[in-house]
């Protein structure tokens, strides 16, 4: 089966947003003499945590309500955005998108973040026009590690699972892609490098590590085996 499309995660894969989010929360916890446990945080990377609120967790740790909670969260969010807006797309992203367009491959995004978040950043980074389809948590009932986002993107692009390569940086994302039947390339960032990603078909240190032609040949060979 020919490879006819590429499907990308967004956060941590196209744009490194995950470390700024974690860093901003670390600072908040530090103000109260607490440490944000990375093992707990790692479980929510690449998904939307049901019932998990870092501020609720902090209040439980310190044993009392946080003063001016809304103002504190607004300050944290501004710090997060300042850190994210200072970043450029991850290495290899633009070259891979350009190569895909030149070869006539379709490109899509499957993200557990909100549609406004993904579209906003893709527009700011001048990457939106490279994608034929963008699906986010607003479009599905279940986000990753459920495979619904991937199934929706495949339908939108008119592709079978065996005709696309998925790119993910998190364990939750890899699980979703594999459950959808896709050949999945894990490209971890500093936040996810130590997480279990062995269920991916291939692991790279960067999207710049391997050319599109090499990726397609490898995916075809692995799927035919």
Residues known to be catalytic? 9, 11
Tell me which residue of 5, 11, 7, 8 sits closest to 120, measured CA to CA. Answer: 11
Residue owning tokens 């990457």? 127
How, if at all, do strands 5-8 and 133-135 pair?
Answer: unpaired
Q: Give buried/exposed letters for 73-107 (b at 16+ CB in 10 A, else e).
A: eeebeebbeebbeeeebbebbbebbebbeeeebbb
In Å, how far are 64, 68, 92, 110, 136 from 150, measured between CA atoms? 42, 40, 22, 6, 10
User: Does an H or E element contain 166, and which?
Assistant: strand 164-168
Distance CA 42, CA 90 (A): 20
């Amino acid at each position: 089966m020919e490879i006819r499309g590429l499907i990308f995660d967004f956060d941590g894969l196209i744009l490194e947003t995950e470390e700024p989010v974690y860093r901003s929360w670390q600072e908040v916890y530090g103000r109260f003499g607490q440490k944000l446990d990375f093992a707990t945080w790692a479980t929510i990377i690449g998904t939307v945590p049901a019932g998990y609120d870092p501020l609720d967790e902090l209040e439980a740790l310190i044993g009392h309500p946080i003063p001016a909670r809304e103002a504190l969260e607004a300050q944290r969010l501004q710090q997060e955005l300042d850190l994210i807006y200072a970043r450029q797309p991850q290495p290899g992203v633009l070259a891979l998108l350009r190569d895909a367009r030149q070869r006539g491959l379709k490109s899509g995004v499957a993200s557990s973040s909100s549609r406004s978040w993904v579209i906003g950043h893709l527009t700011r980074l001048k990457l939106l026009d490279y994608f034929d389809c963008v699906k986010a948590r607003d479009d599905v009932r279940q986000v990753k590690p459920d495979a619904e986002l991937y199934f929706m993107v495949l339908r939108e692009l008119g592709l079978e699972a065996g005709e696309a390569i998925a790119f993910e940086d998190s364990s939750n994302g890899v699980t979703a892609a594999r459950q959808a039947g896709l050949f999945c390339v894990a490209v971890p960032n500093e936040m996810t490098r130590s997480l279990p990603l062995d269920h991916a078909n291939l692991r790279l240190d960067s999207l710049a590590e391997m050319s599109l032609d090499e990726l397609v040949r490898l995916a075809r060979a692995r799927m035919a085996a």
